[in-house]
Structure 1
Amino acid sequence: MSKLKQALNERRFVCVLEVVPQQSPARLVALEQIVQRGHLAGWPLLPAFADRVGPHSDLSPLEGAGAFGDPASSLLHFSGKDRERADLLLQMESMKARGLEQLLLLSGDRLPGHHPDQAPVRYLESVPALQIAREHCPDWLLGAALNPFKYREEEGGAQYLKGQKKLLAGADFFTLQLGFDAAKHIEAQTWMRAQVRMKPMLACVMRLSDKRAAVLQAVPGIVITESMRELLGREQQVSQAYASARSLERLALQIVGLQLMGYAGVHVCGVHTLDELLSLEHAIAEQRDSMTSLTDWIERWHASWQMPGAPQVCFVPAIGAWEMGQSDVAATPRERLRYALLSMVHGQLFSRTGWFSRALGWSMRRPIWKVGVAADALHAVERTVKRPLVGCDTCGSCRLQETLYVCPETCPKGLANGPCGGTRLNRCEFADRECVHSVKYRIAKSANQLPVLAQTLIPCIEAGNRHRSSWPEWFKPEDSTPGR
C-alpha cells in the first residue's frame, strides 16, 4: 500500500508537494532533495506530478516521476484537456508497468490557443475519467478536484452537485483548488460531512507574495481580491524581507488551520528548494505549538492579514457573497418556457412510449440510415433542426434529456456532467458567456430536477462517434431501458 493511501486510511495528516516537471536540471536536483527528505514537520511528504499546467516544453507527469526514479508514493495528475479515453488508458498502462497506482483526475484549465469561435477542443472530463480509471484499475487510489471558492448560488451549487457525481464515479479523495477564504474551506468540510460516501480532502496551499498574487489573479477559479493585493503591496513596500516573513507565516498558519478544520492534508505548491521547505517547517512548528483551538486560529488568521493603515482585507469578491445553504435564484420565465417546450417535444418524439415515438423509432432503426448518403442526410437534418434551438454540434449521442435541454456542446470544453472550477461569478472561464452549467442549475432548481445534476453520470463521447445523427443510436433496442 502506498504511503498516501495508508495515511488517508489511517487518518494521518499528509503533505503532497506539487512538482511541475520541467527540463531544467537545476530545478530537478533541487526538487529531488525535497522528495528524498520525505517529511514536513513530522508529516509524510509525497510528490505529485502536475500535467499540462505550463508550456508545452514541460515534461509529462510520467517523465517527471521517471526523473525521480518513479517513487511508489508518487501521485500523478491527468488533465483531460484535448484528451480522449485512449490517452487516459495509455497513461494508466505506463503507470502500471512502473508500479505507480495513484492518479488525480482533472478536466483541466483552458488549453493555450483555444478560442471558442474556432475549432472546438473537447475535454475528457473528470467524471467519466474516474469511471474509466475505476473500471480498469479498481484498487488504485483515485482523486478528483473540488473548487468551493464560489460566490454565486448557481456556480457554487453546481460545483457541489458535480462533487457528488465524482463520489459516485469512484473518487477516493478530493483536492481543493487553491484558495485563502477560510469560511469556504469550512463550508467544503461541512458539505463533505453531509455526504453518504464521505471521503478525505486535501487543500491546495501556496506561499502568496505580491508578485504571485498578480499572476494568480488571472488564473481561472482562483480568487485574489483587491484588498488582498493592496495588503501584499504594502508589505512589499516596507521591505522584501518583511513581505517574505509575513507570507511564510501565513502559509504555515494556513496549513495548521486546515489540520484543525479536519482536512486530511495539504497539496503544497510553489516550494522549490530544500531551504524553503526547512523554513516552512520551522514556521509550522512555531504556529502549531502556540495554537489551542480553531477559534484561536481564526482570530490569528485574520490578524495575519492586517497591517496598520491598510484597509480591512476581504476574501470575498466585492459583488459576491453566496454561502452554501442560501437559496434565492430561479430560472427566468424564458428559461422555464424553453425547458417546458423542449421537454414536451422530447416526450412526444423520443419517449419510445407513444405511438408516434414508436413509429419514429422503427424508422430510425432501418439500415439505410447507418451509412452513405442517407446517413449524411440525416446528420444534416438533425444539425439543421437542433443547432438553432440548442447549439447542437451533433455529438452522435444526444444527452439533452440528462442536461435539462442545455446542450453540453455549448460549453467551450464540452463538459456534460457539470462545471469546471474556472468560473467566476457565473461567468465562463472563457469570459465570453455565462457558464451553461449555471443556466442548467437554475432550470433544474425550478423544475425540481436538482438530483439529476448529482446522480446522473454522463459518459464521454468518443471522437470517432461525433458528427453523425444521434437518432438511430437513441432508438437502438439495447438503449430502451429506464435511465437512458
Structure 2
Amino acid sequence: MTLLNKALSEQSFVCILEFVPKPDARRFAAVEALMARSQLCGWPLTLAIADRVGNPLEMSPLEAFRSLERPVPALLHFSGKDRERQDLLAQLPRMDAAGVQQLLLLTGDRLPGHRPGQRPVRYLESVAALQSVRQARPHWWLAAALNPFKYREEEGGAQYFKAEKKLAAGADCFMLQLGFDAQKHLEAIAWMNRQPNPKPLIACILALTQGRARMLDQVAGVVVTPSMRALVDAEAAVSKHYARERSIERLALQAIGLKLMGYAGINLSGIHDLDQLLALEQAISAWQPRVPSLEQWRAAWDAAWRMPGLGPVSFHPAEANWQLGESQVGASPRERARYHLLHGMHSLLFDRSTWTSRAFGWAVRRPLWSSATGARWLHRLERGLKRPLLGCDTCGSCRLEDTLYICPETCPKGLANGPCGGTSLNRCEFGDRECIHSVKYRTAKAVGQSAVLSQRLIPCVEVGNRHRSSWPRWFDSPPSTAQAPRHEPDNAGTVAVSKD
C-alpha cells in the first residue's frame, strides 16, 4: 500500500506537492529538500509529478522520478494529449520496474500548436485510460480529474455525468481543477457524498498573486474574475511584501477550509522552495486555532478577499452562476428535430433487429468489401454520406448511438465520454465553437436520455481502425458494447489534477 493510499484509508488529511519536471539540477535539489520534510503541519507529504504541462517533449514523470537522488512517495501524472492507448499500456511495465503503482489519468489540455482544421491531434480520453489501466493493473491506485468550476448548466452537468463514468471505470480518487470558489468546493463534496460508493476528493490550490492571475488567464478551465484581479493588483500596488503575505494567508485559509469541508487533502501548486513551504506552514498553524468551524472559517475567508476602497470579490463570471441541482435549459427545436431524425435513420439501418437493418448488414459484410479496393470504396461511401451530415472522420468505430448522434470527431480532442475541463461558459477550449458536450447535454435532457451520459463507457478508438468503414464492424459486434459494468476496486485513495 502506498503512502498516499494508506493515509487516505486512515482518513488522514494529505498534502500533495506538485512538481513540473525540467532538466534542471537546482529544481530537483529544491524538490528533494521540500520532500525531506515529509509533512506539512503534521499532514503526510507526497509528490505529484506533472506530465506534458507545456511541450510534449518535456521530461516525463517517470524519468523525473528516476532522477531523484532519494526515493520519495510519488504520484505520476499521465496526460493523454497526442497519445494512443498503446502509449499508456507501454508505460505500465516501466512503472512496475520503478516500483510506482499509482497514477493520475488526465485527457490533458490543448497541445501547443494544435489548431482545428490542421493535422488532427489525438487525445487518449481519461475514461478509456482508466478502464485500460484498471483492467491491466487491478491493484493499482488510480486518480481522475474533476472540474466543478462551471457556471452554465450544460457544461457543469456534463462534468458531473462524466465523473460518474470515471467512478464506474475504476477511479479511486478525484483531483479537482485549481479553483478559488468555496461554493463550488462545497458543491463537489456534496455531489461525491451522494454517490453509492464515495471516493476521496483532493483540491488543487495555489497562492494567487498579480503575476499568477495574469498567467492563469491563459489556462483553460481556471476561473479568475475581474474583481479577483483587481484585488491582487491593489495588493501589489501597496508593496511586493504585502501582496506576498496576503496570498500566503489566503492559501493557508483555503487549505484549512477544505479540510473543514471534508476534503481528503490538497494538491499544492506553486511552492518551489523550503522557505515558501515554511511560510505556509506558519500561516496554517497561526490560523487553525482561530477558525475551528466552517462558519468561522467562512468569515475569515471572506475578509481575506476584501480591501479598503474595493468592492466585494465575486468568484463566478458576471454572465452566469449555475449551481448543481438547478435545471433551466432545454434543447432547441432544431436540436430535438436533429436527434429524432438521426435516431430514426439509425433504427432503420443499424438497429440489427429490423428487416431493413438486417438487409443493410448483410450487404456491407459481403466478401466484395473485404478486398483492399472494396474496403477503400466502402470507406469513401461512408465518409461521403456521413461527413456532410455529422462531421464524421470515419474513425472505424462508430459511437453515434452512445453520443446522441453528435459525432465525437467534431470535438477537437475527439472526446466521446464527456467534456474536458477546459470549457468556459459552454465554449470549447479552442474558442471557435460551442462545446459539443453542452449540445449533447441539452439534447439528452430533452429526449429523456440523460442516463446515456453517465452510464455508457465508450472505449477509445484504436489507431489501426481509423480511416476505414465502421459498417461491417458494427454488424459483427454485439449490441451495447459501449456499456461497461460498474467496477468497484477494493483499494481507496486520492490524487492530484490539472485538467481532464
TM-score (norm 1): 0.98
Do the aligned residues in 2 keep the contact of 1:128 with 1:460 (CA within 8 Å)? yes
1:426 aligns with 2:437: no
Match of 1:390 in 2: 390
Pairing 1:346–2:346 present: yes
Q: Tell me, in whole angstroms, the C-alpha distance in 2 between the residues paired with 1:458 and 1:69.
A: 41
Q: Distance in 1 between matches of 2:35 and 2:72?
A: 12
Cα gap change, 1:51 to 1:160, in 2 (>3 Å): same
Distance across 1 between alignment mates of 2:109 and 2:132: 21
**Contact 1:79 1:108 survives alignment (8 Å):** yes
| % identity of equivalent residues | 59
Mean alpha-carbon deviation: is it higher for 21-30 or for 55-64?
Answer: 55-64
Residue equivalent to 2:468: 468
Cα deviation, residue 67, structure 1: 1.6
Secondary structure of 2:64's counterpart equals: helix
- Following superposition, the deviation at residue 8 of structure 1 comes to 1.1
Provide the C-alpha distance between the structure 2 equivalents of 1:444 and 1:2, rounded to a whole number of angstroms.
40
1:355 maps to 2:355: yes
SS in 2 for 1:479: coil
Q: How far apart, in 2, do the equivalents of 1:401 and 1:384 lie?
A: 19
Cα distance in 2 between the residues matched to 1:332 and 1:438: 12
Partners of 2:124 and 2:69 in 1: CA distance: 29
- 1:58 and 1:244 map into 2 onto residues whose CA distance is 30
Distance 1:367 1:72 in 2: 58
**What letter corresponds to residue 241 of structure 1 in structure 2?**
H
Stretch moving more, 234-243 or 362-371: 362-371
Residues 1:479 and 2:485 are matched in the alignment: no
Aligned to 2:212: 212
User: What is residue 224 of structure 2 aligned with on the other side?
Assistant: 224
| CA distances 1:316-367 after superposition (whole Å, capped 9, x unpaired) | 1010110001000000000000000000000000001111111111122222
Gaps of 5+ in 2: 484-500
What is residue 458 of structure 1 aligned with on the other side? Answer: 458
Q: Secondary structure at the match of 1:266?
A: strand
Measured on the aligned residues, the alpha-carbon RMSD in Å equals 1.1
Measured in 2, the distance between the counterparts of 1:89 and 1:458 equals: 18
- For residue 15 of structure 2, give the secondary structure of its aligned residue in structure 1: strand
Summarize deviations over 1:353-384 as a string: whole Å, max 9, x none: 11111111112222221231111111001001
SS in 2 for 1:330: coil
Counterpart residue number, 2:162: 162
Structure 2 Cα separation of the partners of residues 261 and 12 of structure 1: 14
1:382-419, CA deviations, whole angstroms, 9 ceiling, x for partnerless residues?
A: 00100111100000010000000000000000000000
Contact in 1 for aligned 2:14/2:266 (Cα 8 Å): yes
8 Å contact from structure 1 (residues 208, 247) kept in 2: yes
**CA spacing shift, 1:480–1:301, aligned 2, 3 Å:** closer
1:3 Cα deviation after fit:
0.5
Shift, 1:89, TM fit: 1.0
- The match for 2:141 is 141
Structure 1 residues 407-426: aligned runs within 5 Å: 407-426=407-426
Amino acid at match of 2:340: A
- Alignment-mate amino acid for residue 37 of structure 2: R
Q: What is the CA distance between 1:72 and its match in structure 2?
A: 5.8
Indicate conservation of the 8 Å contact 1:21/1:63, yes or no: no
Counterpart residue identity of residue 132, structure 1: S
Q: Distance in 2 between matches of 1:164 and 1:68?
A: 36
Partners of 1:483 and 1:78 in 2: CA distance: 23
Where 1:178 maps in the other structure, the secondary structure is coil
Shift of 1:71: 3.2
CA distance in 1, matches of 2:309, 2:482: 60
One-letter amino acid matched to 1:256: I
Is contact 2:402-2:482 (8 Å) kept? no
Distance between the aligned counterparts of 1:475 and 1:71, measured in 2?
A: 51
CA 1:481–1:101: 2 relative to 1, 3 Å: closer
SS of structure 1 residue aligned to 2:155: helix
Distance 1:10 1:367 in 2: 60
**Per the alignment, do residues 72 and 248 of structure 1 end up closer, same or farther by CA in structure 2, a change over 3 Å counting?**
closer
Q: 1:56 to 1:405 in 2, by over 3 A?
A: closer
Q: Which residue of the partner structure matches residue 91 of structure 2?
A: 91
Partner SS for 2:311: coil
Secondary structure, in 3 states, of the residue corresponding to 1:118? coil
3-state SS of the aligned residue for 2:45? strand
Paired AA for residue 379 in structure 2 = H
Alpha-carbon distance in 2 for matches of 1:367, 1:50 = 49
Equivalent residues of 2:349, 2:360 under 8 A apart: yes
> How many Å separate the matches in 2 of 1:438 and 1:89?
31
Q: Which amino acid aligns with 1:203?
A: A
CA–CA distance in 2 between the matches of 1:379 and 1:371?
A: 12
Partner of 1:8: 8
Q: How far off is 1:70 after superposition?
A: 7.2
Aligned partner of residue 36 in structure 2, secondary structure: helix
Contact 2:54–2:112 at 8 Å: present in 1 too?
Answer: no
Superposed CA offset, 1:133-188 (max 9, x none): 00010000000000000000000000000000000000000000000000000000
SS in 2 for 1:389: helix
Per the TM alignment, residue 474 of structure 1 is displaced from its structure 2 partner at its CA by: 0.3
| TM value normalised by structure 2 | 0.95
- The amino acid across from 2:362 in the alignment is W
Unpaired runs of 5+ residues, structure 1, are: none
* CA separation of 1:72 and 1:170: change in aligned 2, threshold 3 A: farther
Cα deviation, 1:427-472, whole Å, max 9, x if unaligned, reads 0000000000000000000011111000000000011110000000
- If asked which structure has higher relative contact order (CA below 8 Å, sep 6+), I would say 2
Aligned to 1:309: 309
Residue 63 of structure 1 aligns to a residue in which SS? Answer: helix
**Aligned partners of 1:158 and 1:441 also within 8 Å:** yes
Change (3 A) 1:427 1:101: same
User: Is the aligned partner of 1:270 residue 2:270?
Assistant: yes
Range moving further from structure 2, 60-69 or 9-18: 60-69
Secondary structure, aligned partner of 1:475? helix
1:116–1:304: structure 2 CA closer, same or farther, 3 Å change rule? Answer: same
Helix, strand or coil at the partner of 1:87: helix
Structure 1 residue 55: Cα displacement: 3.4
Aligned to 1:25: 25
Question: 1:36 Cα shift?
Answer: 1.9
For this pair of structures, how many residues does the alignment match?
A: 483
Kept in 1, the 8 Å contact 2:35–2:72? The answer is no
